[in-house]
Amino acid sequence: MPTQMDQRALLDPYFVSKLRRLDLIARLVVEGFITGLHKSPYHGFSVEFAEHRPYMPGDEIRAVDWKVYGRTDRYFIKEFEEETNLRGYLLLDTSSSMAYRSSERLLSKLRYAVHLAAALSYLMIQQQDAVGLLLFDEQIRRFVPARSVPAHLRVLLGELARAAADPGGDSAETRRRTEIGRSLHYLADRITRRGLVVLISDLMDRPENVMAGLKHFRHRQHEVVVLHLLDPAEVAFPFQDELVFVDMETGDRLSAVSWELAPEYRRRVERWQRSLQRMCGEHAIDYLPVRSDTPYDVSLLRYLEKRRRLH
């Protein structure tokens, strides 16, 4: 049985990136995550009631069935069985900007997003939820409708692996811009049954476009989780030299003395993230800033939290 340290390692993006097979990655991440959830408040929140068991130290107090306690004067914990009525959609941004990574020690945002999406897919399939996948950039690259059969996982992982293997290129033909709004509108129009939409993107689009698409989902009663994925360097802007910044989506070149721009850049990114967070909050959208060195469990936890709220 893996130790606590091993379990954390399974959630570390860099460690996990050493594995080649995406299904293995997804399984390891989820199992590491689930094992870490043992004795956690989230255990059993997504299953139907199955039976009582005696309280054990470490169990959450609120899980105690106080009615049984009143009757028997003993502590019993309620245990649940899984549900199967959730339809989840993973929206993955595959634009060229997602291929950015600031260091060899880090994953590109795309790879991180793929791993995360794989883990989520695995988790959702394990919970017998239906999972769909949308790969997009400036246009819809791939749409996989949601299904809950275990074999569907292989389809999803296959698509994700192909997306990870094709991060775009440096030439004008292979560069892919981000147009989130259009993709969200597309999907919102396609899915009618209420479900959970998880958007994994760096949101390098105009905020009003992003919000328009998200609001479209909310309008159709979907629950939306936005995992705003950024590289640490995109937030901290640690550059010191005079550099020529080459836009990975447009190829534009911008010469700048980076240390002169850094403070203003950081302020702007912070303001941008706050703005997105505020707008998401206004529309009951979960907004989670994620960095590509963040352990996967943070994102998975946010998913589970959201799923629990759906029940």
Partner 1 sequence: MGPLSFLNGAFLMGLAAAALPILIHLLSRRRARDLPFSHTEFLDEITRRKVRRMKLRQWLLLLLRTLAVACLALALSQPVWQGPGARAQRGSSTIAILIDDSFSMEASLDPGQVLPIDATESDLSLATRFEEARQRALQVVDLLEEGDRALLVFMAEPVRVPYESSVRDPSLLREELRRARPRAARADWTGAFERVRPLLSGAHTLNREIFVISDFQQNQIRQRLRAAGRHAQAAGRDSIAGRLPAETGAVDGVRRGAESGAYDGAESGAEGGADRSQEGGAESGAESVRPSLLPVPEETHLYLLPVRSTATRNVALRRAIFERDPASDGGAVIVQAHNHGRQAIDELALQVLRENAGRELLAEGFLDLAGEAAAQARIAIPTAVAADDLLTIRSAPDLLERDNLRHLAAGATSRFRVLVVTGGPLGDPEIRDEARFPILALDPARGPRLLEEEPARGEATAPVLSGTTQLFDLVTISESDLGLQERIEADVVLLLNVGRISAAAAELLEHFHAEGGGVLIAVGDRVDARTYNTQILARLGGMRLTNLIGADPAAEAETSASAHFSLRPAVVGHPIFEGFPLAPGQALSSARFERLLGVRPGPQARVLAEFSGGHPALVAEPGLLLFSSALDLSWSDFPSSAAYLPFLHRAVMHLVLGGRAGEHDPLVGDRLRWPLPSDLAPDALRCLGPGDIEVPITVSPTERGPVLVTDAVTEPGFYRLRAEGGVAFPAIAVNVDPRESDLTAMTVAEGRTLFGDEAVRIEPGAELGRQVLEARFGRELWRFFLILAFLLLVVESLLARGRVLA
Binding site for partner 1 (CB under 8 A): 97-98, 100, 109, 170, 202, 204, 231, 234, 239, 241-250, 252-257, 260-261, 264-265, 268-269, 272
The type of residue at 124 is M
Q: How far apart are alpha carbons 69 and 65 in whole angstroms? A: 6
Q: Which is nearer to partner 1, 99 or 224 (CB)?
A: 99
Given the DSSP bridges, would you call strands 286-291 and 253-257 parallel, antiparallel or unpaired?
unpaired
Q: Which is nearer to partner 1, 98 or 188 (CB)?
A: 98
- Closer of 47 and 262 to partner 1 (Cβ): 262
Backbone Cα Rg of the chain: 21
Q: How far is the CB of 202 from partner 1 (least distance, A)?
A: 6
Pick 186 or 239: Cβ nearer partner 1 = 239
Is residue 132 a contact partner of residue 87, using CB atoms and an 8 Å limit?
A: yes
Least distance from partner 1 to the Cβ atom of residue 195, Å? 30
Cβ distance to partner 1 smaller for residue 46 or 108: 108
Quote the least distance from Cβ 247 to partner 1, whole Å: 4
CB neighbours of residue 114 within 10 Å = 29
Could you tell me the smallest distance in angstroms from the CB atom of residue 272 to partner 1?
8
Asked if residue 128 lies in contact with residue 152, where contact means CB atoms within 8 angstroms, the answer is no
Structure tokens, 28? 């390891």
Residue listed under structure tokens 């009618």: 192
- Tell me whether strands 130-136 and 140-147 are parallel, antiparallel or unpaired: antiparallel
| Least distance between partner 1 and beta carbon 264 (Å) | 5
